[in-house]
Amino acid sequence: MNWSDDQSKWAVITGASSGIGRSFALAIARRGMNVALVARREDRLKQVAAECEEFGVETELCIVDLREESSIDAIEKTLGARSVALLVNNAGVVARGPFHGIDEKWQRDLVYLNSVVPAVMTRRFLPPMLERDNGAVIFVSSTSACYFHPEMATYASSKLFSMHLGEHLAWELRHSNVHCQTVIPGVTITELFSAADLDISNDSLPPGYRMQSSEKVAEKSLCSLGKKDCIVVTSRVEKVVMRICSLLPKRLVRAIISKAAKGLDRTRLPVASQPD
């Protein structure tokens, strides 16, 4: 993507108040593009906006709860006639625990936020990009979309949807100058883990695994945008794991990962939002 041509254009980042969304906002601002920050927490968004403005760009705050159907209309109204050249679909929530034990409303919200919102946001902002024949859409997916993750059935399924949507859109857009990328982070240091009551650190991970920073995820994604690969896996170890899992019988993969995850406390049913 040619960032020098986009000084007057805008990037829209959902879930921008922390973690990977915040890192995307800062990395994009550093490249000289104005940023519209979308999240629920006004105080956090103002902090991120101030950090972005240090790079000499303009910012716009879209303080909405994306679980509400009117939120996307509100974002469009706030942006007005601004030209959006980049959409980063990052906002999401997670649920951990047996499927039958997770609150039904929470599951509905998870599917809506993780799957429906990225699809609708893309449907709204993609047509003007195609009219200009310039722009990009990024979907932030998860390794849970690629292989078996115990006790994360709804979350993994929702991320599989966004990965497939991104891959299919990339094919549809292949003859245009509008790009579509799905980024698959490995284990990343964000508030998501603590909010989901997942006690993960480098010491608790298998040999060879290391938690990566959200900054690395954003940089790897943006540096790869517009290049050949429409799916970008930001962790080399995860690339290897995904390749191995694709070659082994699914039954064997489930058995191996289930054994590795046997330390999970199955008596608790925590659910948690990516705090945006």
Q: Report the C-alpha gap between 139 and 130 in whole angstroms.
A: 18
What confidence score (pLDDT) does residue 276 get?
A: 56
What confidence score (pLDDT) does residue 167 get?
A: 95
3-state secondary structure 71-111: HHHHHHHHHCCCCEEEEEECCCEEECCCHHHCCHHHHHHHH
Q: Report the C-alpha gap between 116 and 135 in whole angstroms.
A: 21
Residue 188, both tokens: 């990343």
Q: How confident is the model at residue 201 (pLDDT cuts 50, 70, 90)?
A: low
Catalytic residues: 155
**Could you tell me the maximum CA-CA distance found in the chain, to the nearest angstrom?**
54
What is the CA 179 to chain-centroid distance, rounded?
A: 16
- Inform me whether the pLDDT recorded for 257 exceeds 80: no
Instruction: Name which residue leads in pLDDT, 242 or 26.
Output: 26
Instruction: Name which residue leads in pLDDT, 35 or 94.
Output: 35
- Inform me whether the pLDDT recorded for 273 exceeds 50: no
DSSP 201: -
Q: Report the C-alpha gap between 88 and 12 in whole angstroms.
A: 6
Instruction: Name which residue leads in pLDDT, 203 or 137.
Output: 137
> Mean pLDDT throughout 13-35?
96
| Count of C-beta atoms within a 10 Å radius of residue 56 | 11
What confidence score (pLDDT) does residue 122 get?
A: 98
How much is the mean pLDDT over the chain? 85
Q: How confident is the model at residue 54 (pLDDT cuts 50, 70, 90)?
A: very high
Q: How confident is the model at residue 34 (pLDDT cuts 50, 70, 90)?
A: very high
Instruction: Name which residue leads in pLDDT, 29 or 228.
Output: 29
- Inform me whether the pLDDT recorded for 268 exceeds 70: no
- The answer to which of 2-16, 77-91, 114-128, 156-170 has the lowest mean pLDDT is 2-16
What confidence score (pLDDT) does residue 261 get?
A: 63
- Inform me whether the pLDDT recorded for 98 exceeds 90: no
- Inform me whether the pLDDT recorded for 275 exceeds 80: no
Q: How confident is the model at residue 47 (pLDDT cuts 50, 70, 90)?
A: very high
- Which are the contacts of 28, defined by CB distance < 8 A and separation ≥ 6? 11, 13, 35, 86, 88, 222
- Inform me whether the pLDDT recorded for 265 exceeds 70: no
Asked whether the beta carbons of 101 and 154 are under 8 A apart, the reply is: no
